[in-house]
Amino acid sequence: MSDLAGKVAVVTGSARGVGKAIAQRYARLGASVVVNYSSDEQNARRTVEEIEAAGGDAIAVQADIATPAEIDRLFATAVETYGSLDIVVANAGVEIVDEPVLDATEEQFDRLFAINSKGAFFTLQKAAKLLTDGGRLINIGSSSTVSPVPGTGLYSSSKTASRQLVRVLALELGPRNITVNTILPTVIAGAGVFTQVTEDDEFHQVNAGMRPLGGRPGTPEDVADAAEYLAGDLAAWVSGQALLVSGGAVQ
C-alpha cells in the first residue's frame, strides 16, 4: 500500500465513477483531496462526506474543465486550502459511444474535444506549473485509443490528443522529477455511460467474456489500483507510459 500522507491531490471529475474511486483511494492513503465537479454538486458533496467519515480530508470545488480560467480557480483553491499541489489526475471527461463517424455532429465534436482534449491539455499544463518537484500527473484516457472500435471514432479521437501530450510532458518535466502517465481503462461498470449498467446486465456479461482475467467487467476500483501505483513511490521511475487496464484484453 502506498503512503500519500502529507500529499495534496486534485482529481477532476470525481463526484462519481472512476474519479470518485481514485479520490477515495488517495484519501485512504493519507492525501488531502480536492474533489472536482462541473454540475453534480450533490454527489461531489457526498464523496467528500464519505471521505471525511472514513477519517480523510477533502473539499469539493466546482469548476468546468472546458474553461481554462476555471481550472486556474480550481488549482488556486487547492493551494490556498492545503498549501501545495503534489498529485493531479485529469479524469474529467465525456463519452459518446455507439455513434458511427458518419453520424457524428459538429455539436458533439465541439463538446467532446472541449472537455476531453482541450480540458485535459490545460488541466495538465496548469497543474505542471504548480506541482511540487517530484510530483505526479496522471491522465485518464481510454482503451479505445489502443484498438479501433466501431462507434467510438469521435470519442477515441478526442482522447488520443492527451495520450500524446503525456509523452511530451514526461520529457519536459523529467528534470523536475515529475512523472506523467496515462491510464487506459476498458469498459468500466458503474462509470461513464455505463454508470447505470450493472454487472448482471447482458452487455457486461458479454463484455466480461472478452476479459481473460476474472471473467468480469472492469470496476472503478481496478482503475484506482493503477492510480495508486502511479501516484506512489514504486512508480518513481515510470513516466511517459500508458497503462492499459483491461483485464488482459487488447482493448
As annotated, the active-site residues are 155
Rounded (10°) angle between helices 41-53 and 17-28:
20
> What does R_g of the chain's alpha carbons equal in angstroms?
17
CA distance 231 to 4: 8
Q: What is the dihedral of CA 135, 141, 143, 144, to 10 degrees?
A: -160
DSSP code at position 188:
B
Q: Which three cell numbers stand for residue 249?
A: 484484453
CA distance 225 to 191: 15
Lookup result for grid cell 479520490: 23
Query: β-strand 136-140 against 8-11: which pairing, if any?
Result: unpaired
CA distance 25 to 108: 32
| H/E stretch holding 84 | none
